[in-house]
Structure 1
């Protein structure tokens, strides 16, 4: 972490200053991407044989948080795109060589939502679909896309079976103008279209084997990070970015409030109500950070000990992860609500962090309903949660 984070922090001012430019462009600026590439933040979870770090998940989360505290969009892309080398490490060796052989610094986009259908043919699949929310996609040359296994007519088979398909940039279209949103504008999370692309079998991963860590065990990968369940790794980058954005918002709030005088002439330092809100929010955001890192470390320790992470443990872990995101964003709300009318000005970075945090919280991985329901059922030793609830755990 020291090397990657130190390299990032050498350019902290550049990353901070690029925030408004990233938002204006609707994607990360070239200077931002250059800093991130040179620091190696996207290679934290990449195998060492392809010049990666094979970092501990807590190290990955801490780095993403710090980057997001400087600029939300940069941290978000680091959290999302930074997980994809972990996924590729679980793919066929030939798929890894296809991507990393020519360039180990290549970035890989997503999303994993099964919005396409893969029709089996000799040697692989014919693939079609359209996806939303491909973060950082303009700077990526490969992509993981979620798919449902189809029959010979191209219709999803029942019961539904999810796949992760790996495609080069030549096999998909990025839809211009498809990312016009209120927050995280700088992530450039545009739509993706695939039309009749052939995907060879060696570039296809079965999602069920990722969910419970089976794939890493099959491959006999020695580093425990690759034997962790998907639900312990993929949400980590997204929630780390969201909490980091809240940390950045808190920092801007403190800077803004330090010399502020309210409309009635009261200095903030003399207003006990605002001071209480600041302190309470700081404690809540710090608790969210601690909870997320401890949760990731707990899952890593279980796998490192040689034991599988049970469904109940995965459900409880997802509950802690989702709760941490909500806790941090609600704390940011408390201080933003006490920042006065000037916090709403587009020239004030606080409003951008507030918008980014709420957009991050809207990600499907942060929806608490099914996660809490599934966790409660397992905690009460009642009937196993039905399929849709298990799909996010």
Structure 2
């Protein structure tokens, strides 16, 4: 067990208890955000020269799973915000110093989708736009967001060019009324609004450099962590936290069913059909966990040996990751449907794990269509094109 995981486990009871409060607030409680900060969760993939820990991605995944099993929203924020320091490593050193120099525990929110337009001007760009789904944003001092490059009139270039850009909290607004949803409420994934913000060139990075797996070359890094495939590391925290939610739901179910007696008067633990469903769900959730971690270990070993992780391997890795998410949530459905009326009470966490898991599954990183297409076509000797190569 890693040191960060040891650190966060000591807060498990408190994180669980405040999950319900975060659900009401529609953001992480200040205390739960502080617990993530104090435990070092967001510094796990951060470079050592800026106070980071540079852990193995498996350790990062296992930590996100553990937190997700305590509270889905807290795990989700840990998994998403925790990846951003990995990418900041590829930015200009001046940008890194600007963010981490004042505070090695500085958090950055996203999203990467190019929802706004950056118009070139002397020394950089002027950015305008509105971005949705900025998880954990209330607790972040910076954002790392996607922006389409535009012409002088603000029209997007064709073919498109996308940047990842950095802005401090003073340069954008958070729409506090933009997040009122059925699940993952505690993530506070609100909208961001940027109006005529100047972004110096050193705070921008061509998205293709990162997506193409060349960030480490661009930045002159040679650590295995930063050579690791983007298409594995980016979904890792998201899917790991989701599997953690499934584990949390399973733990709630087992605890509640031990002494439960059905309306027939038969103890649940004597019902062979419930026992079968429980056994199958537990096995499916365990299989999802094992599949994610096996991919991480295998990709790490290849990367560490200086070997390329091929497009086909990356596509299959994404297929494994996506399938693991769906498998885990289907397993949650099987046990939730057999939980009895008590599980529906808002005072019990079972319903929140169920809601959080379903909303987590709706994230774009879990959409299976193009990923399954690309992995299968590649294995058959074909060459996926366009959207079917996206995020692989």
The aligned residue for residue 236 of structure 1 is 236
The aligned residue for residue 39 of structure 1 is 39
The aligned residue for residue 290 of structure 2 is 290
The aligned residue for residue 261 of structure 1 is 261
The Cα RMSD (Å) is: 1.0
CA drift at 1:212 = 2.6
4+ residue segments displaced more than 6 Å: none
The aligned residue for residue 392 of structure 1 is 391
Deviates more, 1:313-322 or 1:75-84: 313-322
CA contact (8 A) 1:212 1:228 kept: no
Is the counterpart of residue 376 in structure 1 residue 388 in structure 2? no
The aligned residue for residue 207 of structure 1 is 207
Deviates more, 1:143-152 or 1:266-275: 143-152
2 CA distance for matches of 1:226 and 1:50?
Answer: 14
CA drift at 1:2 = 2.3
2 CA distance for matches of 1:212 and 1:306?
Answer: 17
The aligned residue for residue 330 of structure 1 is 330
CA drift at 1:304 = 1.2
Is the counterpart of residue 225 in structure 1 residue 219 in structure 2? no
CA contact (8 A) 1:74 1:187 kept: yes
CA drift at 1:125 = 0.8
CA contact (8 A) 2:125 2:201 kept: yes
- SS of equivalent residue, structure 2 residue 263: coil
- SS of equivalent residue, structure 1 residue 183: coil
Is the counterpart of residue 70 in structure 1 residue 81 in structure 2? no
Deviates more, 1:141-150 or 1:297-306: 297-306
CA drift at 1:11 = 1.3
- SS of equivalent residue, structure 2 residue 115: strand
Give the paired residue count: 392
- SS of equivalent residue, structure 1 residue 339: coil
The aligned residue for residue 86 of structure 1 is 86
2 CA distance for matches of 1:239 and 1:131?
Answer: 22
CA drift at 1:222 = 2.5
* 1:358-378, Cα deviation, whole Å (9 max, x unpaired): 000000100001111111111
CA contact (8 A) 1:212 1:309 kept: no
2 CA distance for matches of 1:119 and 1:213?
Answer: 26
CA drift at 1:191 = 0.4
CA drift at 1:217 = 2.3
2 CA distance for matches of 1:206 and 1:224?
Answer: 22
1 CA distance for matches of 2:114 and 2:149?
Answer: 9
1 CA distance for matches of 2:153 and 2:310?
Answer: 37
The aligned residue for residue 114 of structure 2 is 114
Matches within 5 A, 1:109-188: 109-188=109-188
Per the normalisation by structure 2, the TM-score is 0.98
The aligned residue for residue 364 of structure 2 is 364
CA contact (8 A) 1:54 1:223 kept: no
CA contact (8 A) 1:109 1:134 kept: yes
CA contact (8 A) 1:27 1:136 kept: yes
* 1:271-311, Cα deviation, whole Å (9 max, x unpaired): 01101111111111011001001111222222211123222
1 CA distance for matches of 2:303 and 2:142?
Answer: 29
CA contact (8 A) 1:148 1:160 kept: yes
- SS of equivalent residue, structure 2 residue 194: strand
CA pair 229-150 structure 1, distance change in 2 beyond 3 A: farther
CA drift at 1:26 = 0.7
- SS of equivalent residue, structure 1 residue 114: coil
Deviates more, 1:338-347 or 1:283-292: 338-347
2 CA distance for matches of 1:49 and 1:173?
Answer: 31
Per the normalisation by structure 1, the TM-score is 0.98
CA drift at 1:386 = 2.2
2 CA distance for matches of 1:172 and 1:56?
Answer: 33
Which 5+ residue runs of structure 2 have no aligned equivalent? Answer: none
The aligned residue for residue 274 of structure 2 is 274
Which 5+ residue runs of structure 1 have no aligned equivalent? Answer: none
CA contact (8 A) 1:291 1:320 kept: yes
2 CA distance for matches of 1:194 and 1:385?
Answer: 35
CA contact (8 A) 2:166 2:199 kept: yes
2 CA distance for matches of 1:303 and 1:194?
Answer: 38
2 CA distance for matches of 1:361 and 1:167?
Answer: 29
CA contact (8 A) 1:141 1:168 kept: yes
CA contact (8 A) 1:129 1:193 kept: yes
CA drift at 1:313 = 1.6
